Amino acid sequence: MTRRALREQIFKIIFRAEFNSPGEMTEQIGFSVGDIEKLSEEDEAYIVDKSDKILAKLDVLDEEIAKISDGWNIGRIGKAELAILRVAIFEMLYDDDVPYKVAINEAVELAKIYCNEDARSFINGLLAKVTVE
């Protein structure tokens, strides 16, 4: 699978976190990777590992989203947009293998598929405010 396809699978798992308890997410990850045809062991391990790492940092990621969202309550942000932001911010802050510009671009590409047209600029604008050290 391409990195883009892997990221999309991870986004779908993180999206499920809004509708499942933390204890259910291990099972949800299993469902998600089980639905992908011809998934290599390496790709499965990548999806599971990165999803677990993002889920473990949801509170920190949400704090960052709250900090950069200028008065937007996280509860007002669409679920798909929130999942995209969580994945992108995780990549920007914690994944040295993903350049921050790639994380932003990929987030906008996901928004083109899963969100309305206004979400693209919203996501792009928020991610531009993330301070990468």
> DSSP per residue over 7-26, as a string?
HHHHHHHHHHTTTS-GGGHH
How many other C-beta atoms are found inside a 10 Å radius of the C-beta of residue 45? Answer: 11
Which residues of the chain carry a pLDDT beneath 50? none
Global pTM?
A: 0.93
pLDDT number for residue 71: 73
Largest CA distance in the chain: 44
- Per-residue pLDDT at 62: 95
Instruction: State the pLDDT at residue 133.
Output: 52
Q: What is the pLDDT of residue 42?
A: 95
pLDDT, tens only, 84-118 = 999 999 999 999 999 999 999 999 999 999 999 99
Q: Is 126 exposed, middle or buried (0-12, 13-18, 19+ CB in 10 A)?
A: buried
Enumerate domains of the chain plus CATH numbers.
3-128 (1.10.940.10)
Q: Residue 38 has what pLDDT?
A: 84
Kindly give, in sequence order, each residue whose CB lies less than 8 Å from that of residue 131, ignoring residues fewer than 6 positions away.
none
Give the C-alpha distances (Å, rounded to integers) separating 91 from 82, 83, 102.
14, 12, 9
Q: What is the pLDDT of residue 119?
A: 94
> Nearest-5° angle of CA 58, CA 59, CA 64?
95
